[in-house]
Amino acid sequence: MPHLLQGLHHRIHRALGAACIATVALLAGCGTLPSQEDRPETHSIAPSAQGPLGSAVVPLAQQHPGKTGVVAIDDGHVAFGARIALARAATRSIDIQTFIWHNDATGTLLFDEAMRAAERGVRVRILLDDLNTVGLDPTLALLASQPKLDLRLYNPYAGRSARGLGFLADFTRLNHRMHNKSFTVDNVVAVVGGRNIADEYFEAGADTGLVDLDVIAFGEVVKSVSSEFDLFWNSPSAYPAKKILAGVEPESRQALARRAQTIRDDPTTAKYADAIAHAEVVQRMLAHTLQPEWTTATVVHDDPGKTLSPETRTELLLLPKLMTAFGKPVKSLDIISPYFVPGNAGTEALASLAKQGVQVRVLTNSLAATDEKSVHSGYVKHRKELSQAGVQLFELKPEAAPIMARANEIGRGSKAGLHAKTYAVDGRSIFVGSFNFDPRSARLNTEMGLVIDSPAMASKLHAVVGDAYPSIAYRVTLAEDGSLRWADAGGKVYTTDPETGWLERTFVDIGATLPIEWLL
């Protein structure tokens, strides 16, 4: 009899669960995604020595066969200006892959620039993850209506309203996102890094500026960046925006142009125009005077199958490829990751390296600087074990330099946050890309980046981490009683997370006790 009652209870529970899901789906207006049967498959256009970019880059690359030219960009204004200048120089193609594209000042200007390129005959392909597109549908519908501009939404919401309920109804699928970022022009120049397209990522936000890193690449690796784009573009999760946005009234072309012109004319946003006018890296490229570092670079990325299949084979995931490309650290491992959630396995691996004599150093956001308090809860539970093993932990201050040296351009009351995801091994090679050191990047989202053999860049990163304390970061240490301490530049020592309130700390402490680390 007890077994019968248990079985009945189980069936009732499942039936109620199914009914709840069905109700949520109905409330969310969740339809089904359109068929992909008639979706055309397109690929990157072969590079050419024609046009301003091709004539500048192709001959230079031919002088360095098999090599990649790289230039790092750590200034958000320069990163924004470079994208605008590259788009304006395009004559054949622009391929943009991104996780976020906001309708703010920088986002509007880049929307307008993409339209302008398409209007003059450039083939523009935009692959945009659909998680953060709330309120964008009219603008996206406008872009999708331009004959030379092809927009696809990655892993989209079937229903465009009540997204929160839609997310719950289709949680397993929609919890997997495309976090990749690349900006490739004429298939001869590619920008790869951690920046999304929004004001805060270009240090133009009124409230927050994010410290980030991009690499402009030329030569051999660009074809691999384009191949990665094509793989995701033609994947089952990339849906033509025209089908997803059927019935949406597009924003008028004139309205977008007016919004963009208003931004260009506004004295308070003159820094954007200045960034465009002084995109020195692109101007030097076009003038044939740019001297990048020529080296070996490798694209590492997840397979898009990771989005739909949790059982994606390990060899198709980015993390094992990254570890293979780097090799085992012997002397040093420097990690810059805004969301650092090593988990038990990662903590054990880093602790083991430190105990073997490898200098392991981590620069991540402090609780006061992070924009994701819940993610921070997955980090705090491992701080003590990492410190005990000899891993050096540095936490970025919210008023961190060098970004705050430009605070008058960002806005009063601004704070800095870390967004760069970059790692260096033994002062010889460096990763720049979208991969955070956390379970979400490892298991849920798709990611990409470049592994660059560059002692110069790796040594610079090593120095940045080494110089972080005391100028821009607190150093986390252990007291004699085993509790954590935060050291400041002035010799002040904190016994709790600096510049935070008890409510923030309590929220994070509670989060650290919950079984949610796999989601972070």
**Catalytic site residues?**
179, 181, 186, 419, 421, 426
- The C-alpha atoms of residue 343 and residue 380 are separated, in whole angstroms, by 11
CB 319 within 8 A of CB 446: no
Q: Phi then psi for 49, rounded to 5 degrees?
A: -80, 0
Compute how many other C-beta atoms are within 10 angstroms of the C-beta atom of residue 323. 13
- The C-alpha atoms of residue 509 and residue 501 are separated, in whole angstroms, by 12
Q: In what order do the strands lie in the sheet with 214-219?
A: 238-240, 149-154, 123-129, 93-98, 182-185, 189-193, 214-219, 68-73, 293-295
- The C-alpha atoms of residue 29 and residue 255 are separated, in whole angstroms, by 29
CB 220 within 8 A of CB 172: no
- The C-alpha atoms of residue 42 and residue 193 are separated, in whole angstroms, by 24
Residue 449 pairs with which residues in a beta bridge?
300, 433
Q: Phi then psi for 220, rounded to 5 degrees?
A: -55, -40
The tokens of 136 are what? 């964008």
Buried b (16+ CB within 10 A) or exposed e, 101-134: bbbbbbbbbbbbbbbbbbeeebbbbbbbbbbbbe
Compute how many other C-beta atoms are within 10 angstroms of the C-beta atom of residue 48. 15
> Quick one: three-class SS letters along 412-476?
CCCEEEECCCEEEECCCEEEEECCCCCHHHHHHCECEEEEEECHHHHHHHHHHHHHHHHHCEEEE
Distance of alpha carbon 12 from the chain centroid: 43
Q: Which residues contact 144 (CB under 8 A, 6 or more apart)?
A: 150, 151, 240, 241, 242, 245, 250
Q: Is 223 exposed, middle or buried (0-12, 13-18, 19+ CB in 10 A)?
A: middle
Residue 422 pairs with which residues in a beta bridge?
336, 432
